Each structure stands twice: as structure tokens, then as C-alpha cells.
Amino acid sequence: MRFHALIRGVVPLLAALLVLGSVAAASVPHASAGDGARASGSDRLWVFFVDKGLDRAGEELAIEQFRSELSERAIWRRAKAGLDVNVNDLPVSMAYIEQVRAAGAEVVTVSRWMNGVSVRADETSLASIARLPFVREVRPVAGARKQMPEVRPVDDADTESFERGDSRSLDYGASWGQNDQVQIIDLHDDGFDGDGIVIAMLDTGFDTDHQAYRHLDILGERDFINDDAETANEPGDPSGQDSHGTATLSNVGAAYAGEIYGGSYEATFILCKTEIVDEEIEVEEDYWVEAVEYADSLGADLISSSLGYFYWYDYSDMDGNTCVTTIAADMAAARGITVITSMGNEGGNDWKYMIAPADGDSVLGIGAVDIDGDRSSFSSVGPTYDGRIKPDVMALGSSAYVATTSDTASYGYSSGTSFSCPVTAGAVGLLLQGHPDWLPADVIDALHTTATQSMSPDTLMGWGILQASDAMYSSPLGVQDDDPVVTSVVWSAPNPFTPGTSLHFVMPDAGRADLAVYDVSGRLVRRLVGGTLPAGSHEISWDGADDGGRDVASGVYFARFDTGALSASTKMVLVR
């Protein structure tokens, strides 16, 4: 049975087996795990409101207040997407929340973007809540049973099969194959490592004491299950709570020579503990929404989520517009965040299709292949209910090499789209480092047009295995040239910046080069390079001044790199 429109009366009580959630508005706390925060099954529901309970003047004041609380990076990323703070960002009305409580419900999480709360309520309380004049809709919190992947220990045969090839700039150990398959190693060799990119990981928890994470730069971490800042295992957590997240994080951010490298190992990370792991493998949809809003507030560039939902949903709900997590993911994309999520491991089951939010039209849904490039039999397929091709692209998900939690120096092999997702996230972090002006739609287009079956996408493997280097240099959005192997790009860091930044570019061959800064009207501001340069990587500083030595105003500027045969540009934001 599908739930649309406002439910008046008694709502059927459905199991909530895999649920995720929303950022608490104002100062509304949700219960800790010890107070029964875990979904008990039949009584977990979303209550959505008609508005934020403010008049026009109140909305304007609240928008200004919220804007002042956002990080500079979040403001820059939204500006890049052309979206300012709006009413969707405002806190949920405390008056509405209190009336829901007064009706007998326990409020668990609060979502600004969804303009609603997840609650526990019995049938009598629910009937009262549904009659409140400001309640738009009531629906169950979505769930899906997910089997945690098994981890196999390392053996010599596996290691030999995964270490074939030249490791070049880094000693990848057994992670060579998964990185090489999607051209991450090519971009590492060109100097890309994810530096300056902020990646949010949504998963079960993370053991950052592992040796592969000693270098890790953590911007923020939050446990949305226990409502605290600890994403490692805590007293009362089920055994193995942090194992899945520790493994997926390694495919993005690990760095330990001779063992493993993730694609964007020098990125900055936001760690979000959203998935409850116990005997029934429960994860909560409302915590997922909460974590996405948190990631937005800290300025995340991309989100990697190896989680998904389909219980109580029907295949007809996989239309990109119905599932709560899909709506939240698309709202994140509208704010400039690239959302990368697993297609799911349902390919061999009766369901077989993708799980939310992979059905989103602004979301990258990632399927799994083996090391030979063949589709993994478990990898969920498309199309979406409205006929769009999914998956988007594929990456290694059969026997991916990961960090494990047996001890702080343990590794193994694990399978599932849980791992093809972060491999892809690691590649996308490199693309955003090279093209900081790219929006989610640009990333999706670049991957689609350069993947291994870009000319003949299908519903089993989408556009094929992603090819990160080709996407960086040969996409219509990147460097234009008839020869797809030509590699040249320009990027800046830090960005946004004050008072100065460094511009980086690669010369594939020695020759003449021109590098200049322009304002948004196309007027030349500063010529930084004009002459012959040797082949290789170059770094040029710009101090935010024009050719006359005068400081330029805050705003958006473009650096244009040109060799005559090829050219590239990048957007920079100066904040005085």
C-alpha cells in the first residue's frame, strides 16, 4: 500500500527496518539510544507540516539569521549553484512541534528541509496529530533490510590478482586494482589527491584509530543515533557497529603505503553515524536526512552514502520524487552538493531494482563490477519507475580491498555496492579538486559522457565503468581537444580565498603558456604567466590584486589557462 496525501484516522503500522534522519531545528533534542531512540518498528512515522509558522517579515528575519550561521564554504557552494538561503532552510515551528508532543507523540528527529518531524505515536495520538490544521501529511518512516557484507581475510592469491600493474606515484598494495580500474591512479600521478574538498560520509560509524586514518582531516563528526559527537563504537552499541563505515571510508580516504589508498585521501571529512546495526540490521531514514542537512551546514562538497531504503516503498515510488531520502538528496544537489549513493544489492532478489535515494535524477547511483569489469550479480538494476536509466556508473564492488576493525592494522576483502559507491566518491573528489566550479549536474554529465559504455547505456550497467581521468580532461565540460589523452587543467586552492590563492596547472609538453585572471564581465584583471614553460606541474600565486597592484573587490573571478592548442578555466571566489 502506498502512502500519499494526508492520512486522516488510523495509519497502518509498518516496520521501520532501515531509517535515516534530519537535522534538529532550534534546540529540539532527540532521545538517546539508551532512552529508546532506536526504531521499535510499527510506531515510527513522519509528520510533515504545511509551513514554517511565520509571516513574511518573520521569514525574512529568520533567513538572515540562518545565513549568518552558515559556514563561508557553505555559502560559497550555494552561490556556485545559484541558490541562496530560503524558507526550506528555516527551523521547523516550535509551536507545531509542541502541539505534536501535546497530542502524545515522542519527537525523535526534526528536519528543516522536509519541514517535519519523525515521531513515535500510538493510534490514538496519531489520529489527533492528523487532525491538526498545520499537518500536511503523515507517513511511515521508510525501511529496508540490509545484510552487512562479509569481510574475507587477505590471502596471497587475492593480493597477487589485485596488485598487478605499475603502482607509479604511490604504493597502493592490494588497493591498486580498484583505483586503476576507474583511472584514479592516473589522476594521482597528475598531482590530484582531494586536497581542499570536503566529503561527508554517512554510515554505521568509524574507527579512526585505524592506521589507515592517522592522516585524516576531520571537519566534524556526529552520531545521530545517540545524539553526540562520537562516531566510533560507544558503550551500548551493538558488536561491529563501526565495521561497515570503517570499511567504506577506506575506499575514499585511507592512506597507508603498501596497503591501501582511497581516491581522495587528502580530502577533509565529515563523519556521520546514521545506521543502527543490530540483529535485525536497522537503519533509520530520518537520521539520514538529518545528516545531509548537517553536511550542508558545514559546507560539504559531496556526500558518499552506502545506505538505501525500499521497505514500505513500492517500485512505483522509485520515480525520483516520492521517497523521503530521495527528496532530501535532490535538495542537497540543488545546494551544490554532489550526492553519491549505492544502487543496492538487490539484483538477485525479487525486488531487483535500485533503492532510494539512488532513484533521484540529481543523484549518482553506483552499481558494482568485479575486477574484470563484469557486472556483479547482486548489483541492483534500473530503470527508475518513470523510465530513466540507472545505475549511473559502475566501480569495483566485488572483493574490494578495505580497512577492517579486527585491529588497527587489519585489512580484508568485501563485496557490495557499499564499496563501489565510495570508490566513486574518491574519484569525484579529484574531479571537484580540478574543477571547483562544477555543479552536481556537471559531474554527472562528465561521468556519463566518458564512462566505458557512454555511447550505449543500459539498465544493467548504466553508462559503464567510470573513467576519472577521461572525465577530468576529455569531458565537454573540461579541456577541449581532439586527442583525449592530452592532459591539462587549472585549479586554485584555497577556494574561496582571502587574501591570496595559488593556481595550479599541468603542462603536458614544454611550450608557450598564458595564464590570466578575468572578472565576471570578461575584463582582464591580472596576467600571471605569458611565456615558455617546461613540461610538468606548475604553481603560480595570485595575491588578489590587478595588474596595477590594486586590491580587487570581493567576488567571482576566472583564471584562464591557454597553450594555443588547448585551454581550461576555473572559477575562484575572493572573500574580503
**Which DSSP string do the residues of 218-250 spell out, in sequence order?**
EEEEEETTTTBS--S--TTPPTTTTHHHHHHHH
Grid coordinates given for 381: 538494476
Contact 469, 450 (CB under 8 A): no
Half-sphere exposure of 510 (CA within 13 A, CB side): 2
CA nearest 438: which of 426, 67, 430, 395?
A: 430
Helices (runs of H) and strands (runs of E) counted in the chain: 13, 25
Directed axis angle between helix 324-334 and helix 285-297, to 10°? 10
Are the beta carbons of 175 and 247 closer than 8 angstroms? no
Query: What b/e string do you get for 507-522 counting C-beta neighbours within 10 Å, with b at 16 or more?
Result: bbeeeebebbbeeeee
Where b means 16+ CB within 10 Å and e means fewer, 67-102 reads eeebbebbbbbbebbeeebeeebbbbbeebbebbbe
Return the DSSP state at 132: S
Fold of 151-474: Rossmann fold (3.40.50)
CA–CA gap between residue 10 and residue 419 (Å, rounded): 41
What is the rounded distance in angstroms from the CA atom of residue 260 to the CA atom of residue 280?
Answer: 31
140 Cβ partners below 8 Å, 6+ apart? 3, 11, 12, 13, 14, 16, 44, 45, 46, 312
Q: How far apart are CA 452 and CA 183, in angstroms?
A: 12
CB contact set of 212 (below 8 Å; sequence gap of 6+): 250, 254, 255, 256, 259, 260, 403
Other beta carbons within 10 angstroms of residue 155's beta carbon come to 10
Domain ranges for the chain, please list them.
Answer: 18-140, 151-474, 490-574
Q: What share of the chain is helix, strand, coil (3-state, %, to 5)?
A: 25, 25, 50
Q: Could you give phi then psi for residue 170, rounded to 5 degrees?
A: -130, 155
Question: Structure pTM?
Answer: 0.76
Query: For the residues of 12-27, what is the DSSP string, one character each?
Result: P-----EE--PPPPTT
51 class by beta-carbon count within 10 Å (0-12 exposed, 13-18 middle, 19+ buried): middle
490-574 — its CATH code? 2.60.40.4070
> Which pLDDT tens digits describe the chain residue by residue (576 residues)?
232 222 222 222 222 222 222 222 222 333 323 333 333 334 688 999 999 999 999 999 999 988 888 888 888 888 888 888 889 999 999 999 999 999 999 999 999 999 999 999 999 999 999 999 999 999 888 765 445 555 555 554 444 334 445 556 799 999 999 999 999 999 998 889 999 999 999 999 999 999 999 999 999 999 998 899 999 998 888 888 899 999 999 999 999 999 999 999 999 999 999 987 764 455 678 899 999 999 999 999 999 999 887 777 889 999 998 999 999 999 999 999 999 999 999 999 899 999 999 999 999 999 999 999 999 999 999 999 999 999 999 999 999 999 999 999 999 999 999 999 999 999 999 999 988 889 999 999 999 999 999 999 999 999 999 999 999 886 433 333 333 333 346 777 787 778 899 888 877 778 899 999 988 667 899 999 999 998 877 889 999 999 999 998 877 788 888 887 777 777 777 776
Question: How is residue 262 written as a grid cell?
Answer: 582511497
Cell of 472: 577530468
The answer to whether the 151-474 and 490-574 domains have the same CATH topology is no
